[in-house]
Amino acid sequence: MDKDASDRLVHDPEGGIARLVEIMARLRDPETGCPWDIEQDFATIAPYTIEEAYEVADAIDRAAWGELKGELGDLLFQAVYHAQMAEEAGHFRFDDVVRAISDKMVSRHPHVFGAESRDKSAAQQTKDWEAQKARERGPQGVLDGVALGLPALVRAIKLQNRAARVGFDWPSTDEVIDKIVEEARELNEARAEKSEAEVFEEFGDLLFVVANLARHLKIDAEAALRSANSKFTRRFGSVESALAAKGCRPEDSTLAEMDALWDAAKIAERAGKAAN
């Protein structure tokens, strides 16, 4: 594309995805682009991609719909960024990314785009989806292909789901809770008697089984932990505010004093929920 056509597209508010792709190409232009963007590669951009995905999830958690548009745009830009670098390296272009995901969605939804019946539950569709993915992967181990770069909690549940599909799973939640008790006891024993490496291992085992409990309870473990983080942040903020009203800070207070303010914040929060 010549410079004039590129300028028109870059400044055209109705340019759509083609505008965004051209903006990215201009940012990466080795002669006229942005020095920071030119220096980046897949490895340096990947952390931003992950961060943007979490910011999308955060906006959804907060029902911040006005922010969600911007966060989705930031995430889309990450896909365009990686595609631009891939094109420069001769791997593929953004159009290939679009074609690949479009082909995949059509292939995995024969009940929508093909002759297969739509008369099945969401659970059955999930099973069919996983079966199609397995066919696409070809002959592999049960746990092969679960991305190493996933957050550890998410990856633990994906690994457990894969194993469960071939029957390697506890039959009920009771057995999982029993295992949590067992792992907690082993962690306590390791803390008293064993090496730092063994404590580390036992702690990981306990977290892994807790993730399995979330799966058995059909709880989104990542969302539950984000909610717990938000609750902790909110209640500790109440403690700080109460201390500030008395002219002091947390580091100037005793644990007993902060515990009392924490309990008060918890009671007030529950009372507010009950009133609603």
- Alpha-carbon distance of 53 to 69, in angstroms, equals 13
Domain end position, chosen among 219, 237, 265: 219
Q: Is residue 118 part of a domain?
A: no
Sequence-distant (≥ 6) Cβ neighbours of residue 246 within 8 angstroms: none
pLDDT reading at 135 higher than 70: yes
> pLDDT at position 235, please?
94
Helix and strand totals (H; E) in the chain: 13, 0
* Mean pLDDT of all residues in 86-103: 97
pLDDT digits (tens, 9 = 90+) for 202-223: 999 999 999 999 999 999 998 8
> pLDDT at position 138, please?
67
pLDDT range class, residue 85, cuts 50, 70, 90? very high
> pLDDT at position 161, please?
92
> pLDDT at position 222, please?
87
What DSSP string runs through 199-264?
HHHHHHHHHHHHHHHHHHTT--HHHHHHHHHHHHHHHHHHHHHHHHHTT--GGGS-HHHHHHHHHH
pLDDT range class, residue 276, cuts 50, 70, 90? low
pLDDT digits (tens, 9 = 90+) for 58-70: 899 889 999 999 9
- Alpha-carbon distance of 110 to 129, in angstroms, equals 10
Tokens 């340096």 -> residue: 44
> pLDDT at position 116, please?
81
Q: What are phi and psi of 194, to 5 degrees?
A: -115, -175
pLDDT reading at 136 higher than 90: no
> pLDDT at position 105, please?
92
Domain end position, chosen among 172, 192, 219: 219
- Total number of domains constituting the chain: 3
Q: Is residue 133 part of a domain?
A: no
Q: To the nearest whole number, what is the mean pLDDT of the chain?
A: 91
- Alpha-carbon distance of 108 to 138, in angstroms, equals 15
Q: Is residue 42 part of a domain?
A: yes
* pLDDT > 90 fraction of the chain, expressed in percent and rounded: 70
Domain range for residue 215?
Answer: 140-219
Question: Is residue 9 located within the same domain as residue 98?
Answer: yes
> pLDDT at position 20, please?
97
Which region among 29-33, 118-122, 176-180 has the lowest average model confidence (pLDDT)?
A: 118-122
Instruction: Give the CA angle between residues 77, 78, 80 to the nearest 5°.
Output: 65
Question: Is residue 7 located within the same domain as residue 48?
Answer: yes
* pLDDT > 70 fraction of the chain, expressed in percent and rounded: 99
Q: Of 17 and 223, which is predicted with more confidence?
A: 17
Which region among 80-89, 116-125, 167-176, 190-199 has the lowest average model confidence (pLDDT)?
A: 116-125
* Mean pLDDT of all residues in 90-98: 97
pLDDT range class, residue 83, cuts 50, 70, 90? very high
> pLDDT at position 78, please?
97
Question: Domain with 84 in it: what CATH number?
Answer: 1.10.287.1080
- Alpha-carbon distance of 47 to 208, in angstroms, equals 24
* Mean pLDDT of all residues in 81-99: 97
Q: Is residue 177 part of a domain?
A: yes
Question: Is residue 157 located within the same domain as residue 249?
Answer: no
